[in-house]
Amino acid sequence: MIQSLWTAGSGLLAQQARVDAISNNIANINTTGFKRDQATFSDLVYARLRPADQQTYLGPTVPAGVDRGHGVRVDAVRKQFGQGMLEMTGRDLDLAIQGDGFFQVRLPDGSTAYTRAGEFRVDAGGTVVTPAGFPLLADGKPLVVPAGATAITVAADGTVTATGADSQPVKLGQIRLTRFADPSALGGAGDGVFIANADAGQPQQIAPGDGTAIVQGALERANVDLAQEMVSLVLAQRAYELSARAVQTADQMLALANGLRR
């Protein structure tokens, strides 16, 4: 019965992790470029109580044997990078990715990070940055808008052009999108920014027109379906209640066993 407490307790911990992931999804339903979290689980090792085809003391054999599970554990909480809905805003520096890929931004330590949150702005120095102040990279360097520019145009292939004070177009660079073999393994750094790691694979530059386009004047909304998340939340709560009831039952059985010894 002590084992039953541990088994039921593992279910409580697993469902709590699932509820936490769902709650985070719902909280970020209006966050630009947010990708929903999904918890994955696996069962723990089984104990072989009786080998297959072993004869019991009553005579019959048990062909399949008898195994006892030890509960469940959380494998990981991974991002699901499905396409979010595009919302047109009309702002020159609102950029959305239609298809695969990430924008490249530069972190304060000089390393490169990746994001799909395309709500950019121009800082006091003329650099195009994220709301957190991370510069957007074009051709591997921060994208800078010249002083006096009246309009910025971003083509579907990422080519950035500004209209100068003399009304002549000036090419500022090209925004290069990056993809990964397993984007769900990217590490989160907050502010909608992700960090590359070995599990995600090497960053690969996307060629222009390779099934991906940049949409100017639009933002990608979170790929969170509120109805789906609410259904998942109810299921997780019911599973949590079931595990809690199993703990309560095991506790009552232990109390009964202790009472028999007196």
pLDDT per residue over 28-45, tens digit each? 999 999 999 999 888 887
Return the pLDDT at 65.
66
Return the pLDDT at 253.
81
CB-CB contact of 218 with 86 (8 Å)? yes
Q: Which residues of the chain have pLDDT under 70?
A: 1, 49-50, 52-65, 260-262
Return the pLDDT at 210.
76
Query: Tokens in use for 220?
Result: 């990608």
Return the pLDDT at 53.
64
Return the pLDDT at 55.
65
Query: How many CB atoms within 10 Å of residue 162?
Result: 19
Return the pLDDT at 164.
76
Distance CA 55, CA 62 (A): 7
